[in-house]
């Protein structure tokens, strides 16, 4: 058998697999730092908002009472 025919035989014979059932899986790991950073950012935002808004609300209420 010639080299060319052997190459054809090789690739004709291979069982092409289904990538959903075989092999190494590419795992998209989330950045582990984000799991901590997002809730922290939300907490900081809430704290800052509260620190800014609450005095304004209290001030408005006390003016109304006056």
Q: Does 29 bind other proteins (CB under 8 A)?
A: yes
How far apart are alpha carbons 28 and 1 in whole angstroms?
46
Q: Write down the least CB distance from residue 23 to other proteins, Å.
A: 3
Q: Does 30 bind other proteins (CB under 8 A)?
A: no
Q: Does 36 bind other proteins (CB under 8 A)?
A: no
Among 53, 54, 58, CA closest to 66 = 58
Q: Which stretch binds other proteins (CB under 8 A): 12-20, 38-46, 52-60?
A: 12-20
Q: Sign of the CA dihedral 32, 38, 41, 43?
A: negative
How far is C-alpha 17 from the geometric centre of its chain's CA atoms? 29
The residues of the shown chain that bind other proteins, judged by CB under 8 A, are 1, 3-20, 22-29
């Amino acid at each position: 058998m010639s080299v060319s025919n052997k190459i054809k035989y090789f690739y004709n014979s291979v069982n092409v697999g289904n990538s959903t059932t075989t092999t190494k899986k590419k795992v998209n790991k989330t950045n582990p730092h984000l799991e901590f950073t997002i809730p922290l950012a939300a907490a900081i935002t809430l704290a800052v908002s509260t620190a800014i808004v609450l005095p304004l609300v209290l001030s408005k209420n006390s003016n109304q009472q006056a």
